[in-house]
Amino acid sequence: MPLSLAQAHVLIAASNDHALANGWKIAVAVVDEGGLLVALGRMDGAFPLSAQIAEAKAAGTALWHRDGEQLAASRESHEGFFDAVSRLARLPLIPGPGAVLIRSSEGVLGAAGASGASGDDDRACIEAGLRAVFPD
């Protein structure tokens, strides 16, 4: 079962709070296990394309069941295959830092991606959002 809409909103709000505290302006996308958008938020002042990039990062992570960094490594070793699969998806898949796979004991719940800061800072924002949704 994917994250609920309420959980997605909590994740986005906490990610945005982390970004704001660090002076970053980001967009955050939360997708279900099939890479389909659940919720999207772009902070005031974040560059316009950041929303599409965040969604493409999250979708790739959900579909491949790999965090963004792992997905980038997979693309490097299987570039042709990755690019072919990317064309099958609803939008181009963007591998790289700033996307996190969300799992539970039952399996994959979806993924979240951020764009607007550096890749590592995007990931830190998502991790802050995940801590708000799953405080354990």
Residue 69 in this model has a pLDDT that exceeds 90: no
Average of pLDDT values for 98-124? 94
Q: The tokens 């772009």 sit on which residue? A: 42
Q: Residue 114 forms beta bridges with which residues?
A: 28
| This prediction's pTM | 0.91
Pairing of strands 37-42, 99-104: unpaired
CATH of the domain at 49: 3.30.450.150
Our count of domains for the chain comes to: 1
Give the domain extent around 54: 5-133
Question: What is the predicted pLDDT for the residue at 50?
Answer: 97
Distance CA(42)–CA(50), nearest Å, equals: 8
Residue 5 in this model has a pLDDT that exceeds 80: yes
Question: What is the predicted pLDDT for the residue at 131?
Answer: 97
